[in-house]
Amino acid sequence: MGKWSFFLFFLCLSLVFTAKSWGAETIPKARTMAELAARYDSSSCRECHEEIYEQWENSLHARSLYGTGRTAPTIITSIEKGLKRWPYSGVKDTKDIKVKHLMICAKCHLPQLDEATDDVAREIVETLYTWKRAIQEGNDDLADEMEEKLNSLNIGCLVCHQKKAIIHPWVDGPVDRKAVYGSKSYEHDFEKFPMVKKAPALGESIFCGQCHGLGPNFELEHPSQCATLYGSYLYAYIPEGGHEKCQDCHMKKSGLGHDMQAYRDENMIKMALQVDVDAMSYFWRKNKEEGIIPLAVVNVEILNKAGHVIPDG
């Protein structure tokens, strides 16, 4: 055998090994937004989980790149005023943006982006900028189209019930892509995901804590900080004697189920604050000209009853 055939032999061998380990541990990267959206599509769940779907659809989880209309422009600001200006970010132009750059937001706003190629990161950025331009030019149809495209990527059913469902894979095993995760294991009446498997922490605060923030995200190449509410839950609410979980307040007591809400919902505001007002009036003689003027003493005590600091983010 000559030098070349040896080389080819080892090349093939290494390709076989790469393909094998690749097949076993990672899933192929999505190459377009549509491919990534299809992988995490929630619409197939609607047929049987109609009420949950409608609740979820109304929540900010269903539009986690667009948010209330603030998230999309803030990502653009992070690119313009952050990534492009930072000398060592590797981003001079939007064309240079890779998955790792968007991950400073997508870690929580779109965790499944780690299953996509850099082309998808650039397609998201292009969609964001087209949306912004359409708004500026008053092109409502195009703006709506881009908003819808952004919202095709979201924190859908499978992000919570599969991708983020297992927090301790060394104990509970890696995520099974053919299953959905819930409170216990049983057969799922849906051939695409034939099993419901148990996610031990789905009903615990730590589950939400994965995205609702402890502080700076030190594990990223360049740490970012947005939501920090889980930190205050752990270090303020629990030590003060609080004993409710995120799910208790946001899904159960609120009666909102999967429509997890905060201050935009009236009932959440009622749950949030205890306001005690104590007032008294008295008369005060100021001077001859002005005579007696009524004065008041008002004591207002506001107690935060949420399980964490408010506001956050």
Question: Within 94-123, which residues bind ligand HEC (CB under 6 A)?
Answer: 104-105, 107-109, 111
Distance (Å, rounded) from C-alpha 147 to C-alpha 66?
7
Q: Which one among 193, 197, 201, 259 touches ligand HEC, defined by CB under 6 A? A: 193
- Shortest gap between Cβ of 123 and ligand HEC (angstroms)? 18
- Shortest gap between Cβ of 15 and ligand HEC (angstroms)? 34
- 251's CB contacts (< 8 A; 6+ apart) are 257, 258, 260
- Shortest gap between Cβ of 255 and ligand HEC (angstroms)? 12
**Window 207 to 226, contacts with ligand HEC (CB under 6 A):** 207-213, 217, 224, 226
Q: Which CB atom, from 245 or from 278, has the smaller least distance to ligand HEC? A: 245
153-182 mask for ligand HEC (x: CB under 6 A)? --xxxxxxx--x---------------x-x
**Window 35 to 94, contacts with ligand HEC (CB under 6 A):** 42, 44-45, 47-49, 52-53, 56, 60-61, 64, 67-68, 70-71, 74-75, 78
Radius of gyration of the chain (CA): 26
Taking phi first (over 0 means left), then psi (-120 to 50 degrees means alpha), and beta for anything else, what does residue 98 get?
beta
Binding range to ligand HEC, per CB under 6 A, among 26-34, 92-100, 247-255, 294-302: 247-255
Sign of CA dihedral 127, 130, 136, 142: negative
Q: Which CB atom, from 36 or from 108, has the smaller least distance to ligand HEC? A: 108
Q: Which CB atom, from 41 or from 119, has the smaller least distance to ligand HEC? A: 41
Map tokens 């047929």 to a residue: 47
Q: Which one among 35, 96, 203, 231 touches ligand HEC, defined by CB under 6 A? A: 203
HSE of 95, CA atoms in CB hemisphere, 13 A: 1
What is the end-to-end Cα distance of the chain in Å, rounded?
Answer: 64
Q: Which CB atom, from 18 or from 44, has the smaller least distance to ligand HEC? A: 44
**Window 257 to 286, contacts with ligand HEC (CB under 6 A):** 257-258, 260-264, 268, 271-272
Binding range to ligand HEC, per CB under 6 A, among 8-16, 92-100, 113-121, 243-251: 243-251
Q: How wide is the angle at C-alpha 122 spanned by C-alphas 87 and 142, nearest 5°? A: 125
Q: Which CB atom, from 6 or from 235, has the smaller least distance to ligand HEC? A: 235
- Shortest gap between Cβ of 286 and ligand HEC (angstroms)? 41
Tell me the one-letter amino acid at 38: A
Distance (Å, rounded) from C-alpha 155 to C-alpha 105?
13
Q: Does 239 bind ligand HEC (CB under 6 A)?
A: no
CB atoms under 10 Å from CB of 143, counted, come to: 18
Q: What dihedral angle (degrees, nearest 10) is formed by the CA atoms of 14, 16, 20, 26?
A: 70
Distance (Å, rounded) from C-alpha 181 to C-alpha 66?
27
- 92's CB contacts (< 8 A; 6+ apart) are 84
Q: 178-187 burial string, b = 16+ CB within 10 Å, else e?
A: ebbbbeeeee
| Count of residues in the chain | 313
- Shortest gap between Cβ of 138 and ligand HEC (angstroms)? 23
Q: Which one among 96, 114, 176, 312 touches ligand HEC, defined by CB under 6 A? A: 312
Q: Which CB atom, from 48 or from 293, has the smaller least distance to ligand HEC? A: 48
